[in-house]
Amino acid sequence: MKIAIIGGGPSGIIAAIEIKKRNPYFEVIIFEQKDSLGKKIKASGNGRCNIGNLNHNFSVYKNEKIVENILHDYDQEEYLKSLGILTKTLYDDYLYPVSESANNVLLILMNKLEELGVQIKLNAKLIDYDTKNDTVNLFFSDGAIVVDRVIFATGGKSSPNLGSDGTLFPIFEKHGYKIEHLNPGLTPIRVKENVKTLFGQRLKALVSLEENEQIIHQEVGEVLFKKDGLSGIVIMNISSQIINKGCKNPRINIFLLNNEGSILSFDEFKIVAQDNKNPLLTFVSESISNYVHELANIDKNKLLEE
């Protein structure tokens, strides 16, 4: 039996591992259109690999009952442990590898693929397929192959640079499949402000989403500044809220936290500011401090009372 898996992201990799573990004599081939596997894995959790979530809320899935039937007995931690990936929880219920390294997770999975004898074809862009006599003909930009079964694990279209670009959707529609209207799910957020100078900076904060001066959602988490906006788990959760709530004029607020994890009050800040020319350095990096001072038109070399 020859099995083709279209897509070398986390779903495709795990599918290949499980098929090969249960059927060692099957020929399993992963076809990935990018130049390497697991680009989404390496990007997850800002490079620290948010590999799971212990809070199973099946209601967020379109086919809630089907997903619940599949996953109700699934133990993420035990399964990952069986692959050699030990985990821990951060931010209450987010699952991370003990190493906090997405690259390490990918290396472990790649080693498992090699150990099991899974074949990998990179830069393989599928352009069409058809079925004949219980086989599947796959047509790629550089040739064709006949397989017995095919699994499509190509994701949506939220991350073109990571491989999920939606280019297979027209092919699926051509073969009679209906594609539901797609909305961004968990994505970074572009902002109007110029935040290029903060690129790469991280900040743990309470982040709230407002629409027409009403708070819609808020949670504590790590914010990662990108060249044109914000990222991090908390930001991605807010991106989902923006879509689900149909926000037209969303506003994102970022609140600094004190050493107890509560919102930093003005009185607390004032105590630190009394004898310090740049009190923000107590709570944030120099880059963020400079950005705030410039935005507020405050001289960072003078005491606030001056």
| pLDDT of the chain, 306 residues: tens digit per residue | 999 999 999 999 999 999 999 999 999 999 999 999 999 899 888 788 989 888 777 777 778 889 888 888 888 999 999 999 999 998 778 899 999 999 999 999 999 999 999 999 999 999 999 998 899 999 999 899 999 999 999 988 877 888 888 889 999 999 999 988 777 777 889 999 999 999 999 888 999 999 998 999 998 988 999 999 999 888 988 998 998 888 999 999 999 888 777 888 877 777 766 666 777 778 888 898 888 888 878 776 665 554
168 shares a domain with 38: yes
Is residue 229 included in any domain, yes or no? yes
User: By residue range, what is the domain housing residue 72?
Assistant: 50-100
Is residue 304 included in any domain, yes or no? no
Residue where a domain stops, chosen among 182, 215, 240 = 182
Q: What is the pLDDT of residue 102?
A: 94
Count of CB atoms situated within 10 Å of the CB of 61: 12
211 shares a domain with 245: yes
Is residue 301 included in any domain, yes or no? no
CATH assignment at residue 167: 3.50.50.60
Q: Are 209 and 250 in contact (CB under 8 A)?
A: yes
66 shares a domain with 29: no
Measure the CA–CA gap between 71 and 83, rounded to whole angstroms: 18
221 shares a domain with 90: no
252 shares a domain with 193: yes
Is residue 305 included in any domain, yes or no? no
Is residue 302 included in any domain, yes or no? no
138 shares a domain with 3: yes
Is residue 108 included in any domain, yes or no? yes
Residue where a domain stops, chosen among 159, 182, 205 = 182
217 shares a domain with 282: yes
Residue where a domain stops, chosen among 162, 182, 202 = 182
110 shares a domain with 82: no
* Domains held by the chain: number: 3
Q: Tokens 């074949």 sit at which residue?
A: 119
Q: For the chain, how are helix, strand and coil distributed in percent, rounded to 5?
A: 35, 25, 40
pTM to 2 decimal places: 0.77
78 shares a domain with 168: no
Q: Which residues of 91-118 are buried (b: 16+ CB within 10 A; e: fewer)?
A: eeebbbbebbbbeebbebbbebbeeeeb
134 shares a domain with 160: yes
216 shares a domain with 290: yes
264 shares a domain with 164: no
Q: What is the pLDDT of residue 306?
A: 45
